[in-house]
């Protein structure tokens, strides 16, 4: 692996990239254990693919915003390091695939030149902060939430409190009560609010806590009707501190915030959050409302008007993919990107063609499309022609014909079935047999290649996830059909229910039955999830049950969509949720590293960071000693208690006031310089005692 030099403006980023290169070399030489290295690379957006020896790199674009220059830079990088394709995700990221691990540091360096990062795009961290793509131009928005999403991203990136969470944590900001960012499905979701107090306008948010998708999707709980804007960051920090301390660590399937609420109850979790606010770095946080300015509209210059290349197709496209902005005279243009995949050559041709006709900003949407802003009416035929030329002028953005999907078995370790080809087949079904549904934005079909809901199937009206069945001594690719989910608005939503599992090749018949029945039996104006509740789950189970009959299987149904060979289920070890490291030596090394970070932060005057690094040192060291005795504690608070029980009460370690009393001073004191000095001194003493004991034990055993 060759060294490289970079002239990045941010010395922290440059240091991290050089450190990644060094750690890759150490991993190759065998001096860093694989599990430790996996945790490190995931926190830098580098995810192992289904195919051995190559990586998926996830590029973190806060709330899906990119300039033309940034999108071109990412396209250049995909050409040089990946497979000339951009994959847009449901969290508004861009993924590139088949990247060599050894080339990721230089890839990151080139991205950083245009202010793009891969840091914390994967792993047990705060994932990409999402927001409604129409934020800033939404006619229904109380105010633009983009600066608030940006502040959240900036504050928690590299923040010590969220570098080693039990699992990932997700934020989402919706622009209005329509909840287009799915606040109800986030760990923390926000709906903007305005209130008038003594004649003065105040901004704030309706707060939804503890939602999530995954294998067991859950709708969040409304915990605050109006959180003032200056409390957004302090409250969010307290939530993350609570999750870090009390969240599950051993059982990954129960390590999301929603399960902490399920375990302790909402009221107790709310109290824990309140308890943490004493120790938060900030008590108020002023949001810079100008941090994300609206892009400049294109200049009004005379140009030769174009006629659409296909008048009839253009009329449908304009009705389904173009919407008036709140800025009078301008239009938002939505680009439907099938399966979220845009070849880099098409991306370049698109940007070259629309330059001067829209603003210099692209937003990636939650359904894997693109939003272009500030188009004038007279530019719409030209934009349509550009899209038609590259094959991306399909109508029906965000309609029944716009099927959301994850990459499935194309690249993901966890994929059970080919979700991308299934999505293409279902979109063709809509266009061929139900073309009137391209106008229906109240009914959504979403697909995931496994139960983990990266394709958002858990909140779909018709949700499908990959599965398998056994018949005639062989494995059959199957689809679990879920029904009745969807957005209700204002932070409320419904989670879809599992109804029946059918062979994958019968999904087309299942969707056809559902759409026909809905058209025949719905009440005028009735939405699909209301129709589902009225008819009941059993009604749909009986409707679809004949499709689940495995006695009628034919040879083709043993072959998955997009394949020719007989299906074989091959699930790797998933990395999306990070890893759990239980190596004593690694944990002790981490403890020493964290203590060094604590000292560095203290010297820099970052007292809250110093305190949290010292706290993390306590946890790593205590966990290591407990594991050495075969004790697997499931949460940080359990580690603290178990250390008292097994080491302090036995007299092996003498800690006045107990280990819990010492460590948990962290959330009883404000992060002042005096407390930081005191807490760090106690942490240093504790680490020195551990080191001395370990050294003495090693000498005796040798």
Pairing of strands 171-173, 130-131: parallel
When divided into structural domains, the chain yields a total of 5
374 & 472 share domain: no
Nearest-angstrom CA–CA distance, 229 and 207: 11
Q: What angle do CA 49, 50, 52 make, to 5 degrees?
A: 80
Final residue of a structural domain among 112, 147, 176:
112
Check: CB of residue 212 under 8 Å from CB of residue 186: yes
* Residue 602 counted as domain residue: yes
- Is residue 698 scored above 60 in pLDDT? no
What's the confidence (pLDDT) of residue 289?
97
* Residue 103 counted as domain residue: yes
264 & 155 share domain: yes
What's the confidence (pLDDT) of residue 97?
95
Nearest-angstrom CA–CA distance, 121 and 507: 33
354 & 446 share domain: no
| Residue-level length of the chain | 702
Sheet holding 462-471, edge to edge: 404-405, 445-448, 462-471, 474-483, 497-503
Q: What angle do CA 689, 695, 697 make, to 5 degrees?
A: 105
533 & 655 share domain: no
Print the domain residue range for 22.
11-65+86-112
Percent share of the chain, pLDDT over 90: 78
Torsion of CA 23, 25, 28, 30, to 10 degrees: -60
Nearest-angstrom CA–CA distance, 502 and 497: 15
Summarised one tens digit per residue, pLDDT across range 341-351 is: 999 999 999 99
Q: Is the pTM of this model over 0.75?
A: yes
604 & 668 share domain: yes
Higher-scoring residue by pLDDT: 35, 626: 626
420 & 537 share domain: yes
* Residue 106 counted as domain residue: yes
Summarised one tens digit per residue, pLDDT across range 315-364 is: 999 999 999 999 999 999 999 999 999 999 999 999 999 999 999 999 99
Final residue of a structural domain among 558, 576, 602:
558
Nearest-angstrom CA–CA distance, 206 and 491: 8
* Residue 81 counted as domain residue: no
Nearest-angstrom CA–CA distance, 408 and 344: 21
Pairing of strands 404-405, 370-375: unpaired
Q: In Å, how far from its chain's centre is CA 49?
A: 17
Summarised one tens digit per residue, pLDDT across range 122-157 is: 989 999 999 999 999 999 999 999 999 999 999 999
* Residue 289 counted as domain residue: no
Final residue of a structural domain among 337, 358, 390:
390
* 3-state class (DSSP) for residue 494: strand
Distance between first and last Cα of the chain: 38
CATH of the domain at 182: 3.30.413.10
């Amino acid at each position: 692996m060759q060294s490289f030099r970079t002239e990045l403006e941010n010395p922290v980023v440059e240091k991290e990239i050089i450190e990644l290169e060094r750690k890759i070399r150490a991993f190759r030489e065998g001096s860093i254990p694989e599990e430790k290295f996996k945790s490190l690379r995931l926190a830098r957006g580098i995810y192992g693919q289904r195919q051995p020896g190559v990586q998926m790199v996830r590029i973190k674009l806060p709330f899906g915003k990119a300039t033309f220059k940034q999108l071109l830079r990412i396209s250049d990088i995909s050409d040089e390091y990946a497979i000339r394709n951009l994959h847009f995700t449901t969290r508004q990221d861009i993924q590139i695939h088949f990247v060599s691990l050894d080339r990721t540091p230089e890839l990151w360096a080139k991205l950083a030149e245009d202010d793009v990062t891969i840091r914390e795009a994967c792993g047990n961290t705060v994932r990409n902060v999402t927001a409604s793509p129409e934020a800033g131009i939404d006619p229904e928005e109380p105010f633009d939430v983009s600066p608030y999403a940006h502040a959240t991203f900036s504050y928690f990136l590299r923040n010590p409190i969220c570098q080693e969470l039990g699992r990932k944590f997700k934020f989402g900001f919706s622009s209005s009560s329509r909840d287009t960012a799915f606040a109800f499905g986030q760990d923390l979701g926000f709906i903007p609010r305005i209130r008038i107090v003594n004649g003065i306008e105040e901004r704030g948010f309706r707060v939804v806590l503890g939602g999530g998708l995954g294998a067991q999707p859950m709708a969040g709980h409304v915990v605050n009707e109006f959180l003032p804007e200056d409390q957004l960051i302090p409250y969010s920090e307290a939530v993350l501190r609570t999750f870090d301390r009390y969240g599950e660590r051993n059982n990954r399937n129960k390590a999301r915030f929603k399960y902490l609420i399920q375990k302790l109850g909402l009221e107790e979790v709310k109290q824990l959050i309140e308890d943490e606010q004493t120790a938060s770095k900030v008590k108020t946080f002023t949001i810079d409302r100008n941090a994300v300015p609206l892009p400049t509209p294109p200049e009004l210059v005379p140009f030769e008007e174009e006629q659409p290349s296909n008048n009839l197709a253009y009329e449908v496209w304009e009705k389904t993919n173009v919407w008036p902005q709140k800025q009078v005279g301008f239009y938002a243009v939505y680009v439907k990107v099938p399966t979220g995949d845009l070849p880099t050559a098409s991306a370049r041709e698109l940007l070259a063609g629309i330059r001067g006709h829209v603003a210099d900003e692209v937003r990636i949407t939650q359904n894997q499309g693109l939003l272009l802003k500030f188009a004038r009416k007279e530019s719409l035929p030209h934009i349509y022609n550009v899209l038609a030329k590259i094959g991306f002028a399909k109508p029906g953005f965000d309609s029944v014909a716009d099927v959301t999907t994850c990459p499935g078995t194309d690249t993901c370790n966890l994929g059970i079935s080919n979700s991308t080809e299934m999505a293409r087949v279902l979109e063709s079904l809509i266009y061929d047999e139900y073309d009137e549904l391209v106008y229906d934005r109240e009914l959504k079909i979403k697909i995931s290649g496994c139960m983990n809901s990266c394709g958002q199937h858990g909140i779909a009206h018709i949700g499908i996830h990959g599965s398998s069945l056994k018949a005639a001594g062989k494995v059959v690719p199957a689809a679990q059909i879920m029904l009745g989910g969807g957005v209700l608005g204002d932070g409320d939503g419904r989670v879809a229910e599992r109804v029946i599992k059918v062979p994958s090749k019968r999904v087309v018949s299942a969707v056809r039955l559902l759409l026909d029945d809905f058209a025949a039996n719905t009440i005028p104006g009735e939405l699909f999830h209301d129709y589902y509740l009225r008819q009941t789950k059993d009604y749909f189970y009986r409707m679809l049950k004949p499709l689940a009959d495995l006695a009628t299987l034919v040879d083709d149904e043993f072959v998955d969509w997009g394949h020719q060979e007989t299906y074989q289920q091959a699930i790797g070890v998933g990395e999306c949720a990070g890893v759990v490291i239980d190596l004593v030596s690694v944990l002790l090394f981490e403890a020493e590293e964290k203590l060094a970070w604590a000292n560095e932060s203290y010297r820099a005057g970052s007292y809250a960071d110093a305190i949290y690094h010292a706290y993390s040192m306590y946890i790593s060291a205590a966990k290591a000693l407990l594991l050495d005795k075969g004790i697997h504690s499931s949460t940080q608070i359990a580690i603290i208690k178990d250390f008292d029980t097994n080491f302090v009460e036995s007299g092996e370690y003498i800690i006045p006031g107990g280990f819990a009393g010492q460590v948990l001073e962290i959330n009883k004191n404000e992060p002042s310089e005096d407390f930081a000095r005191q807490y760090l001194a106690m942490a240093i003493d504790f680490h020195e005692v551990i080191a001395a004991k370990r050294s003495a034990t090693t000498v005796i055993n040798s």
